[in-house]
Copies of this chain bind each other. A is one copy, B any other.
Amino acid sequence: MSFIYLFRHGIAQDREAFADDRQRPLTAHGKEKTRTVAQALHNLGLEGNLILTSPLLRAQQTAEILADCCNHIPIEVVDWLAPEGSFAEWETWFDRHKHLNSLFLVGHEPDLSMWAELMTWGQVSGNVLLKKAGMIGLISDPDKPLKGNCIMFLLVPPKILQDLR
């Protein structure tokens, strides 16, 4: 059984100001909000063996803040978490790492909420709302394929996590 946490990157700078969308950093406010959320996750006792992140700057910065607040969990950059990423590659990756107890995936919308739907229901409606610096928590069944067999137990906007003691 693994806990899988899908974490959306924090608020980033405007698209207009950056010729390369991959280089957009988090805003100062985005960094601060992400740090408050990450600190709350640490206080909740959430632990991770590994953070996988999209290679885009705003996701990598989010992953670094998360690692910084949560016992310096190691970070691994994977191309299949970039926007319009590959669920199939994630399935293959997970199949080789089922022994991990707890895992963060830092990435983008609409991919993350769609992946959560695929893991929980096996199909996508587009009816799950994941805000920036928000998180979805799933539990996988080691004896079954990821698709359609995970339990969704958490869906939280940053507003709630920010207010945690």
Contacts and interface: CB of A to CB of B under 8 A. Distances in A.
Interface of A: 43-44, 117, 120-123, 125, 127-129, 131, 139, 148-157, 159-161, 163-165
A157 B154 contact: yes
Interface centre among A120, A152, A155 (most CB of B within 10 A): A152
A43 B163 contact: yes
15 contacts: A121-B121, A121-B123, A121-B127, A125-B148, A127-B148, A127-B149, A128-B153, A129-B153, A131-B153, A152-B155, A153-B157, A154-B160, A160-B164, A164-B164, A165-B165
Nearest to A150: B127
A128 B128 CA distance: 13
Contacts of A164: 160, 163-165
Contact of A120 (B127, B131, B154, B161): B127
Judged by DSSP, the binding face of A is mixed
A44 B159 contact: yes
A151 B165 contact: no
Contacts of A120: 125, 127-128
A161 B156 CA distance: 11
A68 B154 CA distance: 26
B165 A152 contact: no
B160 A160 contact: yes
A20 B130 CA distance: 42
A122 B149 CA distance: 17
Interface centre among A121, A148, A151 (most CB of B within 10 A): A121
